[in-house]
Homo-oligomer: A and B are copies of this chain.
Amino acid sequence: MTSEDYLHIAFLLAKRANSKDIRPNPFVGAIIVAENGVIIGEGFHKMSGKAHAEVNAINDALIKSTDLSNCTLYVTLEPCSHTGKTPPCTHLIIKHKIPKVVIGSMDPNPLVAGGKILADAGVLVETCILPEVVALNDTFNINQIHNRPKYIIKSATTINGKIADRLGNSKWISNKKSRDYVHRILRTNADAILTTAHTVIKDNAKMNIRLEEADARELDLIIIDKQLDILKLINKDLAIFYKRIKSKIYLVTDKTYENELPEHVEIMNVNMNDGNCDLIQLSALLLEKNICEVLVEAGGKLNASLINEKIVDELNVFMSPSLLMDNYALNVFNSNELQAIENSVQLTLLETQTFDSDILLRYKLVY
């Protein structure tokens, strides 16, 4: 077994966690391998505030052997060196005299320098960066590096980029299988949906998670709503006001609201310049609320604003096998600014999937 093989096992352990249980932390898996190559300890980070993967792996190994001084620790992420909700893992590694640590990805947080601390303490530290390990913590890395959530735009369009006819009608551009994927994968993975009051009122969708085999699950909803239209009496029966237990509706505005807010509704005050929400300020506020990954399901204006702000990480376009041949039909990116071809936004195709005649095109943004 090579270091890659052992790290891949640690990676599989890391993936066992549920992303929403560990937010804002990364996925981490760790194994302890004895001198003879046998894995004697396994662990992964399971819950924010609870033990790190290294701690779980070491504790598991200690059941089999009290002496780890001939073992190697394989861990998917650089061990932490600072005291957060739990003590630094580097202490524990040094305390148990583990002589060698192999790391599968580096921590982008500058407060974390576990590799160096271990090396300074005489531990042999090897790094063996595995792409699947880095990809698993894409959201965490974006949160750490850019101090904002990961933003994923989801849209259903005709093959010529229209999301609705000129009257605003859009039911249904994508097919049932595509919509099921939105619930099962995109909404399930996201911490919240970001949209606008305009879209919420026009579509009157629930914006929750509905799967055929399970009860509907609630999901945080962030609504850009400068005028607080959502709170108007006429909108009191909107589908988003389903019975919520733990999720919230955040209304993003620069206004204050004097009356009592409905249950589960919070105001999120953000600057609005020329009617446009300050998306950087909003991003920082969302991260404070532990909203680390946001699915954008909105109209063309917000889609374009987010990309212009260079904060969109991924684009998921469900392309339906249809055409709306009308220049006034609504565009998936709605902007009246001149954009010359040499300034076009560049993407990288990550993946395609077909759902009958719909095709999902998944792109990464390149800024």
Interface, chain A (partner B; CB < 8 A): 157-162, 164-167, 169-171, 173, 304, 307-308, 315, 317, 319, 321-329, 331-342, 344-349, 352, 354, 357-359, 361, 363
Q: List 16 A-B contacts (CB under 8 A).
A: A158-B161, A159-B315, A159-B361, A159-B363, A165-B340, A304-B325, A307-B323, A319-B361, A323-B344, A323-B347, A324-B345, A325-B334, A327-B336, A328-B336, A347-B357, A349-B357
Please give, as numbers and ranges, the residues of chain B lying within 8 Å of A158 by CB-CB distance: 161, 344
Please state if B333 and A160 are interface contacts (CB–CB under 8 Å). Answer: yes
Please state if B349 and A338 are interface contacts (CB–CB under 8 Å). Answer: no
A317 CB contact (under 8 Å) in B159, B173, B308, B332: B159
Please give, as numbers and ranges, the residues of chain B lying within 8 Å of A354 by CB-CB distance: 349, 352
Please give, as numbers and ranges, the residues of chain B lying within 8 Å of A160 by CB-CB distance: 157, 160-161, 331-333
A323 and B153 CA atoms in complex are apart in Å by: 13
Please state if B338 and A166 are interface contacts (CB–CB under 8 Å). Answer: yes
Expressed in whole angstroms, the minimum distance between the Cβ of A81 and any Cβ of chain B is: 39
A326 CB contact (under 8 Å) in B170, B323, B335: B335
Please give, as numbers and ranges, the residues of chain B lying within 8 Å of A319 by CB-CB distance: 361
A323 CB contact (under 8 Å) in B159, B322, B345, B352: B345
Q: Given A170-B341, A333-B160 in contact, is the A349-B321 Cβ separation under 8 Å?
A: yes
Please state if B166 and A321 are interface contacts (CB–CB under 8 Å). Answer: no
Q: What 5 pairs across the A-B complex have the smallest Cβ distances?
A: A160-B161, A161-B161, A321-B347, A323-B345, A325-B333
Please give, as numbers and ranges, the residues of chain B lying within 8 Å of A335 by CB-CB distance: 325-327
Q: Given A165-B341, A173-B341, A359-B361 in contact, is the A347-B333 Cβ separation under 8 Å?
A: no
Please state if B167 and A340 are interface contacts (CB–CB under 8 Å). Answer: yes
Please give, as numbers and ranges, the residues of chain B lying within 8 Å of A326 by CB-CB distance: 335-339
Please give, as numbers and ranges, the residues of chain B lying within 8 Å of A358 by CB-CB distance: 349
Expressed in whole angstroms, the minimum distance between the Cβ of A343 and any Cβ of chain B is: 8
A341 and B346 CA atoms in complex are apart in Å by: 29
Please give, as numbers and ranges, the residues of chain B lying within 8 Å of A170 by CB-CB distance: 341
- Apart from A307-B323, A326-B337, what are 6 other A-B pairs with CB-CB below 8 Å? A304-B325, A322-B345, A325-B333, A326-B336, A326-B339, A327-B331
Nearest B residue (CB) for A326: B339
Please state if B357 and A344 are interface contacts (CB–CB under 8 Å). Answer: no
Please give, as numbers and ranges, the residues of chain B lying within 8 Å of A171 by CB-CB distance: 341
A106 and B341 CA atoms in complex are apart in Å by: 49
Please give, as numbers and ranges, the residues of chain B lying within 8 Å of A322 by CB-CB distance: 344-347
Nearest B residue (CB) for A325: B333
A322 and B342 CA atoms in complex are apart in Å by: 11
Expressed in whole angstroms, the minimum distance between the Cβ of A278 and any Cβ of chain B is: 20
Please give, as numbers and ranges, the residues of chain B lying within 8 Å of A162 by CB-CB distance: 161
A169 and B341 CA atoms in complex are apart in Å by: 6
A329 CB contact (under 8 Å) in B332, B339, B361: B339
Please state if A334 and B327 are interface contacts (CB–CB under 8 Å). Answer: yes
Please state if B327 and A169 are interface contacts (CB–CB under 8 Å). Answer: no
Please give, as numbers and ranges, the residues of chain B lying within 8 Å of A157 by CB-CB distance: 160-161
Nearest B residue (CB) for A365: B323
